[in-house]
Amino acid sequence: METFIEFVRNWGYWAVFLGSLVEGESVILTASAMARLGHLSIYKVGIIAFTGTLIADQVLYLVGWYYGDALFFRFPSLKKKSARTFELLHKYDTLFIISCRFIYGIRVTSSIIIGAAGVKPWRFIPLNFLSAAIWAVISCTAGYLLGYVVLEAFEHFDTIQKYFIGGVLGLATLIFAVVKIRHYLKCRKADPQS
């Protein structure tokens, strides 16, 4: 356990940065929980998560802005698959740009599509900034609260362990009883004279 904590202390911020570049909510949640346990700084985790997600979406937007048409021409199936995202973008515009980071499965492609759709940089940049800030605050807060739950669990580990073992034994006894009763009823049904 100590080597894992040392790894988190040494490499945790790099993991946060790399995780925030892609759909890395699990990395941010874990890092924030580790911050609650005292192994990282929640402020550093938040700033790095915000910066990483902001950079990633800005780069993907620029890819879409400069190469979107060429990408869709070269990969027609990509254009077909992203038709629904284009539709959402045109229908909900601002709301889509702010919330696309929270929609699992389209986060990475949505910035490319926003750029390819011709949304002007002066419009995208402030909305991307706002979205990154909201995402970082929500993700870090959720992870920090998760860390509180983990900390509470460690503090009451003996009690939790006792109830867990009791629960497992109780469940095993119940399963054993159900299997025996079913076997008895099955045998009785097969041999009605007993």
131: enclosing H helix or E strand: helix 121-155
Q: How far apart are CA 139 and CA 107, in angstroms?
A: 15
Domain count, the chain: 2
Are residues 103 and 167 both part of a single domain? no
Are residues 110 and 17 both part of a single domain? yes
Are residues 84 and 23 both part of a single domain? yes
Give the structural domain span for 44.
2-155
For CA atoms 146, 148, 149, 153, the dihedral sign is positive
Are residues 53 and 101 both part of a single domain? yes
Q: How far apart are CA 148 and CA 140, in angstroms?
A: 12
Are residues 125 and 186 both part of a single domain? no
Could you tell me what percent of the chain has a pLDDT over 90?
Answer: 24
Q: pLDDT, tens digit, for every residue of 111-135?
A: 888 898 888 999 999 999 999 999 9
Are residues 188 and 122 both part of a single domain? no
Are residues 35 and 92 both part of a single domain? yes
Are residues 40 and 63 both part of a single domain? yes
**Global pTM?**
0.69
Residue 180, burial from CB neighbour count under 10 angstroms (0-12, 13-18, 19+):
exposed
